[in-house]
Structure 1
């Protein structure tokens, strides 16, 4: 594979030589370091790379250059490289322009000159940017192959599981690819065997469950210890934050996740209002960083395990899995989050996974190249998805029940949506039916003041409501009528038959079962924001310490 390019741009020969030298000394083994002495010459270099299909991983440019500034050059660079990381080298006086460039040209980071010593000021930034680029461009994407049908619900689930767990794969579509049909024939597979997952070493997996798939890929699915200090059910922002803090403070910690780390936030294409990331970051990136951080401190992560019951066994709490396995812990944190509410209406249930999807991973947007996409919902998750789809789709139609976006969506997202020419917002509207023979072909819209009418549609993504995953808790853990978990003072005011059993008051995030805590979206009256979920996860560990000290 051709080495990816790092392009450095500066009109000052001394500065250009210095930045190129520093980058070459650390990254020259894996990247080509190419220089340009002006913005115009940099664009010529990028045009040549595009013509020769040479990947460009990073453009590091000075801001103050005659004829064309760094930001002006980067704004035109997107014509040649759609996915390179942008790094602006600037003086303190130009920081306002750099911050504006985050919105205007998708600047990833700006660095004040000078950057000495590079080991402290330059390399950590570039390591981060190149790490993100490498994650988006895995070199071994062809090792694992998935053969399936575009309109297969299980094929969609397998691809989503692999994507969200950062497992690179090659997708082969049975109705379009000759190679897909050849592989199915070689495996002697029938329609019920799809999707067929071909692993580099081992037998083909025929329509595997997530647990079977995780086991074949070497992902951890079984606990290593008989007893833990803390079992965290759910690997979203709240659960991952709790894992980091608990493990770093010496608690034997395990996280049980039924799908993939990140929860609903893990599917977000861009979280732009999370503290410390001015450019924003994807939910997948946030989850990946958090998992790595938790693992560094010794937390275990069990994947593809569905918790179906909670039991109290004296001082120990046990969680049981759907396959009859279980694990025990001295305390449990419920951070199982919420799932999107299902649309109701003729045809919608039958076409789930066949054109009707609930949530999406950021990478799915590229599958909608040149198509029309309908997005249902008016909260931040819907807005982020609409902006992501708009990068590829011919048109994105947002179907919003409310009277205005500002009622349910952050203003920065509203502004971005209104600035997109290919996003249309239909307020006071809903999807009431769907039609298709094997896959989605049309939906029925109901808009205030107009009779229901059908429109052609092959992509419908739904981001509405919040259904907490709490059925597994049983009657001992008090919940409200919608299933959200009561904690702290709300527990004491809850009606019988589950009164608080101890003389002390429940801790702030403690449920009606002592030693069982709840954090994040699953908790009653939580803020439904990533930052608040992370805060609650950290706070829960402090309360777990207090609980364990009393038992």
Structure 2
């Protein structure tokens, strides 16, 4: 169950099976969107009765009900968001700035853009917060000595952006970025058109790309069969209450995995952290390594990877491989959470955007260094810092080449990008 104190959004009831991938997605979305909800299984007396009263069965789940008697079979996040009354359509007209992505970089850009007088719209394909919104605890972000959850930080950012008048549009997937008039991937004085996968669009004089990165997935045999049924990516906050007293496996050696391990240790009987490398020191912050070492219920297994997954209606077994000896071990497992990094979300952009080998957008002074054999920058002036190879389009956060991969770095870049947008628009 999740909720918020101001009561701005309606309380709803979700009826869905624990091992339903669709139900898992909806639960995560409701939690991320700060929607108060009660979750019932179809086999619960009340859950079964609610389905029957509407002529439905367990096969129709997940289903949402609200206090007004409305019902929705939850198929896709955009219909769910619309049913909840969340903002899913831009207000219309030309904007000064469109921000693509609602993570820390995008939210910082929305706050600073709107507070400094730009008519700003932010487009997020899922929920505000990005991957950091799923982080159980952020302890090295300036100004929060006791730490703050990613969800709390995201909610504060949302309220702050709305306070200054930024328009936040949810569950709209950006699919094209084009010149407003000619539909070519370039820039003119008229600005840009950001197209959505469903055919809608929004226009703006300048663009900040803060789309972050797409989560990498495990490719071991059987793993994909259990996504949402025991295998989860960046879903610690939603699933943790179900793991009380259980043994939890976490894959990853960077900060997100370490934060999840500490978070799960508060409810799980045991947490096993699987790391491909020889130690945590390669990618994880020192403060997290020290905390993990002090928690007896966390076991760190280095040189270990998931080789296979098996089960019936949900995950029941994992095969683990020692990368040094190539020997395997089969263990009973119901919960596996993977935090194995992500790739910059840039595939949807056109060829004029210069990328590095990892797919990150190259910006500013770095353009000249990577633009061989032909220049990628089309103007006589030099590109502004954070400006991509398309003038007027800036990049901030994890989507950018050589980004800091930290919340503070993303917030700083999102804020700086707005300063550069002003400079671009005033030129």
Measured against the shorter chain, the TM-score band is over 0.9
Aligned-residue offset at 1:174 = 1.8
Aligned-residue offset at 1:255 = 0.7
Q: Match of 1:319?
A: 194
Q: Residue by residue, what CA displacement relative to the aligned partner does 1:382-403 show, whole Å, maximum 9, x if unpaired?
A: 0111111111111100001111
Superposition pairs for residues 327-476 of structure 1, below 5 Å? Answer: 327-447=202-322, 448-449=324-325, 451-476=327-352
Q: Match of 1:534?
A: 411
User: Contact (CA 8 Å) 1:236, 1:264: kept in 2 or not?
Assistant: yes
Aligned-residue offset at 1:190 = 4.2
Q: Secondary structure at the match of 1:388?
A: helix
Q: Which deviates further from its counterpart, 292-301 or 356-365?
A: 356-365
For residues 161 and 145 of structure 1, what CA distance do their matches in structure 2 show? Answer: 14
Q: Secondary structure at the match of 1:230?
A: strand
Looking at secondary structure, tell me which structure has more helix per residue: 1
Q: Match of 2:130?
A: 263
Q: Residue by residue, what CA displacement relative to the aligned partner does 1:55-83 show, whole Å, maximum 9, x if unpaired?
A: xxxxxxxxxxxxxxxxxxxxxxxxxxxxx
Q: Which has the higher contact order (CA 8 A, sep 6+)?
A: 2
Q: Match of 2:184?
A: none
Q: Match of 1:491?
A: 367
For residues 137 and 293 of structure 1, what CA distance do their matches in structure 2 show? Answer: 16
Q: Match of 1:241?
A: 108
Are 1:186 and 2:61 matched, yes or no?
A: no
For residues 93 and 74 of structure 2, what CA distance do their matches in structure 1 show? Answer: 32
Are 1:147 and 2:15 matched, yes or no?
A: yes
Q: Which deviates further from its counterpart, 482-491 or 518-527?
A: 482-491
Selected match of 1:545 from 401, 422, 426: 422
Cα gap change, 1:457/1:361 in structure 2, threshold over 3 Å: closer, same or farther?
Answer: closer
Q: Secondary structure at the match of 1:460?
A: strand
For residues 293 and 496 of structure 1, what CA distance do their matches in structure 2 show? Answer: 45
For residues 379 and 326 of structure 2, what CA distance do their matches in structure 1 show? Answer: 57
Structure 1's unaligned 5+ residue stretches are: 1-133
Q: Secondary structure at the match of 2:130?
A: coil
Cα gap change, 1:142/1:149 in structure 2, threshold over 3 Å: closer, same or farther?
Answer: farther
Aligned-residue offset at 1:202 = 5.5
Q: Secondary structure at the match of 1:264?
A: helix
User: Contact (CA 8 Å) 2:4, 2:36: kept in 1 or not?
Assistant: no
For residues 421 and 238 of structure 1, what CA distance do their matches in structure 2 show? Answer: 36
Aligned-residue offset at 1:226 = 1.2
The alignment covers a number of residue pairs equal to 416
For residues 291 and 58 of structure 2, what CA distance do their matches in structure 1 show? Answer: 44
For residues 230 and 143 of structure 1, what CA distance do their matches in structure 2 show? Answer: 33
Q: Secondary structure at the match of 1:350?
A: helix
User: Contact (CA 8 Å) 2:309, 2:319: kept in 1 or not?
Assistant: yes
Aligned-residue offset at 1:474 = 2.0
User: Contact (CA 8 Å) 1:232, 1:332: kept in 2 or not?
Assistant: yes
Bigger Cα Rg: 1
Are 1:157 and 2:25 matched, yes or no?
A: yes
Cα gap change, 1:140/1:486 in structure 2, threshold over 3 Å: closer, same or farther?
Answer: closer
Q: Secondary structure at the match of 1:482?
A: coil
User: Contact (CA 8 Å) 1:234, 1:335: kept in 2 or not?
Assistant: yes
Structure 2's unaligned 5+ residue stretches are: 181-187
Q: Match of 1:9?
A: none
Are 1:172 and 2:40 matched, yes or no?
A: yes
User: Contact (CA 8 Å) 1:486, 1:523: kept in 2 or not?
Assistant: yes
Aligned-residue offset at 1:203 = 3.2
Runs of 4+ in 1 over 4 A off after TM superposition: 134-142
For residues 386 and 307 of structure 1, what CA distance do their matches in structure 2 show? Answer: 33
Q: Secondary structure at the match of 2:177?
A: strand
Aligned-residue offset at 1:481 = 3.0
User: Contact (CA 8 Å) 1:376, 1:398: kept in 2 or not?
Assistant: yes
Aligned-residue offset at 1:436 = 1.3
Cα gap change, 1:549/1:139 in structure 2, threshold over 3 Å: closer, same or farther?
Answer: closer
User: Contact (CA 8 Å) 2:215, 2:342: kept in 1 or not?
Assistant: yes
User: Contact (CA 8 Å) 1:193, 1:207: kept in 2 or not?
Assistant: no
Aligned-residue offset at 1:152 = 0.8
Aligned-residue offset at 1:191 = 4.9
Cα gap change, 1:478/1:253 in structure 2, threshold over 3 Å: closer, same or farther?
Answer: same
User: Contact (CA 8 Å) 1:444, 1:455: kept in 2 or not?
Assistant: yes
For residues 241 and 350 of structure 1, what CA distance do their matches in structure 2 show? Answer: 37
User: Contact (CA 8 Å) 2:88, 2:169: kept in 1 or not?
Assistant: yes
Calculate the aligned-residue CA RMSD, in Å. Answer: 1.9
User: Contact (CA 8 Å) 1:348, 1:433: kept in 2 or not?
Assistant: yes
Aligned-residue offset at 1:178 = 1.7
Q: Match of 1:94?
A: none
For residues 141 and 200 of structure 1, what CA distance do their matches in structure 2 show? Answer: 12
Are 1:292 and 2:159 matched, yes or no?
A: yes
- TM-score, normalised on structure 1? 0.73
Cα gap change, 1:215/1:243 in structure 2, threshold over 3 Å: closer, same or farther?
Answer: same
